[in-house]
Amino acid sequence: MTAGLVTALALAWYFAGPPWYLSQTSTPISHQEEVVLIGLQAVAKGYLPYVGTASVQYGPGTQVAAYWLMHHVTSFSVVGFREAWALFVWAGVSVLFAVFFLAFGYARGLAASLLSALVYPGLHLLAFQPGGSFDGYFGWDNPLRYVGAIALVLLLPAVVRRSPSWRGAAAGAAIGALWGLTSYLAQENLAGGAVGALAIGGLLLVSGSASWRALWTALVAVFAGFALIWIPVLAFYAAQGQLIEFLHQYFLFPRAVAAGANDTPWGGFNHTPSPYSHLFYALPFLLAALALLTVFQVRPLRIAREWPQERVTLLATVLATALLYEGVLLRSDASHLTGTELMVPALVIMTATVLPRLLGVQRRATVAVAGVALIVASFALLPHAAYSRTSLRLWAEAPYLDRQHLAAAPPPGKPATLAGERVGPGLDDATRCCQESPVSMSDFVRLMEQIHTLVGNRTAYVANFHGQYPGLIYFGADLNPAPVSSDPYSSIETQRDLRAFLADFRTRVLPQTQVVLTFTVKAPEAQSFLARYPNAHRVTLHYAGQPYYLLLR
Amino acid sequence: MPARQPKTRELCLLYMDTIDMPSQSPLTPSDGIPRAAIGDHDAVASAGVMRRPTGTPRPGPAARWLDRALRIANAGPRLFYRAALGSLAVTSALAMTTAALIRPHDQLPVAQRNMIAGALIALCLSAALGLVSLAAGRSRPPAWLDRVLAPRERAAIWLALAAWFPFLLLVVYYRAKATFPPPERYLYFPYDDKRWETAAYLLGVIAPAIWLTTAARVLAVGRCHPRTWRAWCTGLFPRIVVADPSLRANAVRAR
């Protein structure tokens, strides 16, 4: 076990660990980062994390951890945020690989980890890019969003096997704490882990593979670990009188997505072609077949009872993959397939090494041939480029070569202005500031510095910005956000909620707001501000050749 | 050889291992109590952790229903096959009703029409198969079928299907609801109610494994004649288990 853990951590460090040299990643600030930045800025200005002004649609723990890391480990800048995010990715990959080694043993864990890192794209969305730098989908892609559910479903059978005993209780509490922590970081872990744990527990019970007492004590231990993380969090918000608001925000997006909001057909409503369409369409049928095959045994053909460990592990792997895939059915695109792609390599390895024996193959040579055939057949789900020798070599070399050439580059100088510091060293002289924007970073920094100088410590409300989310302006210009009820761009989904937000803005927020920033005075918030303060002073700035107004009372 | 063991004895070991044990003596490696020999009923019984399922059930409606249910559980797959067909027929009829009733005002969308047509085909199929089954009466199925899949396994599969079919109504309901306009006007993304897809997916991928395993367990416990409904239910949740199934085979071989 120790050798497995050491190997897992070493692999995770090589593929996703520091040093990342993120000051040399000149990727423009993405919309996904902009959405997250407003919450971080609000927390920095003293607002309660995750609720009200600091609300985000993602997990509360991710915001708190990112803020803490930016303040104490990295820096309070976009580059610092990316470094904090890289830490999340590293932690997520470490947990994922460690779970593979613990659940499947050394050889299978190694194979699944390497397949994840080199072939399947789940870990490539934010990684050392071949011939580039550590780059990708900052602010969104993060294995920690899924590894809690994966760890719980894959490791629960081992806990049940050891229960009731102190070792079983300790392992259950540890897995429960991990599940609780990752559920605090991202909502995806909560539902996936709960459904998966109940399903695998129920199957262990009715198949006669676990006793009621063993299962019960294991689940109690898991829940105790989960509660260890969540009780302080809930107690904190209860003490602040914001518990209902916190829970509402936590479940807002999962409930909306489950009901149909933001859901798309595969490839979006424009049906953008994707090289992973085979995987998306074939996987449910393969999972259904695998789940059925796993509960049958042959010679004689019958429904299996008292499952051996290998059968349980294979079924847990199928279950974990199936539950992660369910999310892709709602928001169906290649990015949202990431969670499933974290598990598919493990599914391939477990199927190849366990299924032939479960189906009655006994000769060692036949088992080996069948296993290899299954692994080769699984590549049919992927585009050829994903498993070509060139691709494998590039992804294997990238972490080493990227670090080599990035280390050779001279370190960037310290930014001269506050806005430059907010962007971060290195990124402040990028050729483009933001996603889908032609403006250079230096021009953007200049505008942010102007805004900061004009607004100062006044309470500001950013109604909109040209092509970008307001979070970018709050953060870039270090503004003091108005005490709004939530972020209208990430935490308000419906027209009705927007009307309620605007009504609250007019009656409660406006008296406390000293500046409104907007590219059009026709924005409802700007109209309300001008109606209430008809003598408001208007300053016109420019971004990409277009006016941007500051309304100061 | 394990395959030569009398079926009733093996099944009842399973039943006794799991039902008639008082709440003490967990018999786990951690508590210091040696685990009872696998499959060794007498050793477990003499250790005081279970009782033989002896005695006659108390008379009364519950006992009569239990007796009837036990006879069905022991009767083989034919009744479960008919139950599955009945379940399919009822599900089809309810699906047609659901699709016809849950629809936008003054229109019957294509999705509803397709569901009604599909349910009608399923209803006709179940009726035809039911008639064939009744016409066949008590004639024995071909021997090769028993060799491929034992009658009790077929019974479990049909029971699982009988329990699975009604859940398809969830898919029908959500598919019908998806034809309604969005309940809210969403700001940034279009609305696409895909609950029926996730319901179908979960029913197709995860539910069959659970249903099949549970059905096999229900029948295995039922074949050992539990004395009460409660005993049957508690028998589904074993209190001690075989640590390694290969040990069971060894124990049986040793006898």
* Neighbouring C-beta atoms of residue B9, cutoff 10 Å: 13
Pairing of strands A126-128, A546-552: unpaired
d(CA B88, CA B86): 5
Q: What is the ipTM of this complex?
A: 0.91
Instruction: Kindly state whether A307 is in contact with chain B, defined as any CB-CB distance less than 8 angstroms.
Output: yes
Contact present, A434 and A468 (Cβ < 8 Å): yes
Model pLDDT for residues B67-121, shown as the tens digit of each residue: 888 888 888 888 999 999 999 999 999 999 999 999 998 889 999 999 999 999 9
* A330 → chain B, closest CA residue: B194
| pLDDT per residue as tens digits for the range B127-150 | 999 999 888 877 777 888 888 888
A chain contacts of residue B80, beta-carbon cutoff 8 Å: none
pTM, 2 dp = 0.88
Q: Which of B122, B108, B116 is nearest to B161 (CA)?
A: B122
β-pair type (A134-136, A126-128): antiparallel
Return the structure tokens found at B224: 């050992």
- Asked if B180 has any chain A CB less than 8 Å from its own CB, the reply is no
Decide if B4 touches A, using CB distance below 8 A. no
Interchain pair B150, A258: CB under 8 A: no
Instruction: Tell me how crowded residue A431 is: count the other CB atoms within 10 A of its CB.
Output: 11
Please report which helix (H) or strand (E) contains residue A408, including its range: helix A389-408
Percent of chain A surpassing pLDDT 70: 100
Kindly identify which residue of chain B lies nearest to residue A287, measuring between CA atoms: B205
The identity of residue B196, as a single letter, is W
Q: Find the mean pLDDT for residues B152-181.
A: 95
Whether chain B has a CB inside 8 Å of the CB on A414: the answer is no
Would an 8 Å CB–CB cutoff place A209 in contact with chain B? yes
pLDDT category at B190 given cuts 50, 70, 90 is confident
How sure is the predictor about B29, in pLDDT bands with cuts at 50, 70 and 90? very low
Give the HSE-up count for residue B54: Cα atoms under 13 Å, Cβ half-sphere.
4
Average pLDDT, stretch A467-476? 94
Interface contact A289, partner B, CB < 8 A: no
Alpha carbon distance A342, B160 (integer Å): 32
Of B213, B238, B248, the CB nearest to A295: B213
- The predicted model gives B51-77 an average pLDDT of 73
Distance CA B25, CA A161 (A): 18
Distance CA A466, CA A451 (A): 15
- Look at residue A34 in the predicted model and tell me its pLDDT: 94
Partner-chain contact A207 B217, CB within 8 Å: yes
Bridge pairing between strands A296-297 and A302-303: antiparallel
The DSSP code sequence of B74-106 is HS-HHHHHHHHHHHHHHHHHHHHHHHHHSS-TT
Cis peptide before A19 (omega within 30 of 0): yes
The amino acid at A506? R
Listed by number, the residues of chain A in 142-171 with a beta carbon closer than 8 Å to a beta carbon of chain B are 164-166, 168
B 198-217: CB under 8 A from A: 198, 201-202, 204-206, 208-210, 212-217
Q: Rounded CA gap, A181 and B77, in Å?
A: 48
| Cβ-nearest to A303 among B153, B190, B236 | B153
| Helices marked H in chain B | 7-18, 41-46, 61-74, 77-101, 110-136, 143-148, 151-164, 168-177, 195-205, 207-222, 229-235, 245-254
